[in-house]
Amino acid sequence: MSSLRPFRFATYGSANSRVEWVDQARKVESLGYSTLLLSNHIARGGLAPLPALLTAAEATTTLRLGIHVVDNGFRHPAMLAQEAATVDLLSDGRLELGIGMGWSPGDYEAMGMPFESPSVRLGKLRESVALIKRLFQEDSVTFTGKHYNVRELNLQPKPLQRPYPPLYVGGGGKRILSFAAQEATIVGLATKSTSGMLDHASITADAVAEKVRWVREAAGAHFNDLELHIQAINIIITDDRQGGAKMTAEKLAGYSSIAVNNDLSTKQILESPHILIGTVDQIIETLLERRERYGISYITLFGDEEKFSSMVARLAGK
């Protein structure tokens, strides 16, 4: 890669009380993680992301606060812009705003909302991102789209980060990743989903390389300005990589209700940028190699954040 960004690490949060949530935020910050993330799947439960992130901001000083991601189908973009600008302002400019077209039919079914076609959802996302960016930057916005309209709307106050908070858009298909490459600050190389089912064929090394090619082609000269993100969906610290791969294969086989193409080979599992297996030293070497190959420098680690803290400490910011 012509330009390598420093590593950053994120982790997902969850809690059932204020005390638990504040303690987690402080621990994540103390361990050197860059970002604490929340998702937006109402049917699965969990904290509402924007108010929870603001509470985490009050308990910390440097920790960045991310949503991966707000489902665009649930909010009018003007309301989302107002909420996000408020969180960014009150957190002293620490928000990372993730927004997506929505992939889980269960959320829509639970809310009695239609789960529209990918082309409609992507069309809405395009309009939302365009409108949100304008609201963050301009004093009076009139916008007439196919899905959203505003008239002489002046969003106040503006977000603290200028021209706007880092915008995260992720996906597994060419259309959404091409859009992300052109409009986002952070591009998430996500597992592809079709009709609400994740496709694990899209997490192989070859599939991720293809996604990076799509992003590079769509971004053009802007490519080096992008930060590439990936979720490490399975992490096993072990001195038996083959055994770890076997455990991962068994885990993937259990995802038949939410995913397809779960029968990855041992080689595919060990080479997947979404999977980390080995000793701490081996995993660090793997992350360095993958950053060199793909340009991926921003990684979300699923699991016990304390267990992975030695990797974070050795690589974050380097």
What confidence tens digit (pLDDT) does each residue in 227-256 have? 999 999 999 999 999 999 999 999 999 999
pLDDT at residue 1 above 60? no
Quote the domain boundaries for residue 71.
34-162
Last residue of a domain, one of 106, 127, 162: 162
Within a 10 A sphere around the Cβ of 8, how many other Cβ atoms?
A: 20
Residue among 189, 152, 157, 183 at smallest CA distance from 170: 189
Are 91 and 67 a contacting pair, CB within 8 Å? no
Is residue 134 included in any domain, yes or no?
A: yes
Would you call 230 helix, strand, or coil by DSSP? Answer: strand
Q: What is the CATH number for 87?
A: 3.20.20.30
DSSP result, 174-187: HHHHHHHHHH-SEE
Last residue of a domain, one of 108, 130, 162: 162
For 32, the token pair is: 């050197």
Is residue 60 included in any domain, yes or no?
A: yes
Q: Note whether 138 and 191 are same-domain residues.
A: no
Give me the long-range contacts of 21-28 (CB less than 8 A, separation at least 24): 21/47, 21/52, 21/55, 21/56, 22/55, 22/56, 22/59, 25/55, 25/56, 25/59, 25/60, 25/63, 26/59, 26/60, 27/305, 27/306, 28/63, 28/305
What does the pLDDT read at residue 195? 79
pLDDT tens per residue, range 64-89: 999 999 999 999 999 999 999 999 99
Q: Note whether 140 and 179 are same-domain residues.
A: no
Is residue 51 included in any domain, yes or no?
A: yes
Q: Note whether 120 and 178 are same-domain residues.
A: no
User: Alpha-carbon distance 171 to 101, whole Å?
Assistant: 9
pLDDT tens per residue, range 7-35: 999 999 999 999 999 999 999 999 999 99
What does the pLDDT read at residue 196? 81
Q: Dihedral (C-alpha) 256, 260, 266, 269: value to the nearest 10 degrees?
A: -110
Is residue 12 included in any domain, yes or no?
A: no
Last residue of a domain, one of 162, 186, 206: 162
Domains identified in the chain, total number = 2
Query: Which whole number is the average pLDDT over 97-107?
Result: 92
Q: Note whether 149 and 216 are same-domain residues.
A: no
The identity of residue 120, as a single letter, is V
Q: Note whether 173 and 186 are same-domain residues.
A: yes
Q: Note whether 312 and 179 are same-domain residues.
A: yes
Are 169 and 183 a contacting pair, CB within 8 Å? yes
Q: Note whether 83 and 211 are same-domain residues.
A: no
Q: Note whether 288 and 252 are same-domain residues.
A: yes
Could you list the beta-strand ranges (E) of 200-310. 227-232, 234-237, 259-260, 275-278, 296-301
Are 9 and 310 a contacting pair, CB within 8 Å? no
pLDDT at residue 2 above 80? no
Is residue 19 included in any domain, yes or no?
A: no
What does the pLDDT read at residue 44? 87
- Backbone φ and ψ of 70, nearest 5°: -65, 130
